[in-house]
Amino acid sequence: MQTQCATVFMMCAVSLAGFPDSSIAQQETCLSSNETREAVADKRAISPTAALRAARTSASGETLRARLCVHNGDLIYWVTLLTRSGKVGRVMVNAADGQVLEVR
């Protein structure tokens, strides 16, 4: 039962985390899964797994997803995390080198 509740909670958190705030939506466009795979294959971006690892060095919590986006002309990953307190956090990771740029 606890596992089912946790799964439902995670699904709700992920769906809510998918709504970017208006300031982010105005500045960037996120790539599809196929476009992300192409960017990684062409060595224009690190893998989503590497972005998740980089985000975990700057913020604690359970990683929910990583989206590759174009932000001010550069490729970045937005990594969404669920903190122990139940809040959703976001970490911006430079897709070229894995450097953490911002933690929200």
* Domain residue spans of the chain: 2-103
83 in Cβ contact with 73 (< 8 Å): no
The CATH number corresponding to 2-103 among 3.40.50.620, 3.10.450.40, 1.10.357.10, 1.10.10.10 equals 3.10.450.40
Q: Give the burial class of 84: count Cβ atoms within 10 A of its Cβ; 0-12 exposed, 13-18 middle, 19 or more buried.
A: exposed
- Under the banding of pLDDT at 50, 70 and 90, the label for residue 16 is very low
Residue range 20-30: mean pLDDT, rounded: 60
48 in Cβ contact with 68 (< 8 Å): yes
69 in Cβ contact with 28 (< 8 Å): yes
- Under the banding of pLDDT at 50, 70 and 90, the label for residue 61 is confident
Q: What is the pLDDT of residues 70-92, one digit of tens each?
A: 999 999 999 999 988 899 999 99
- Under the banding of pLDDT at 50, 70 and 90, the label for residue 26 is low
- Under the banding of pLDDT at 50, 70 and 90, the label for residue 27 is low
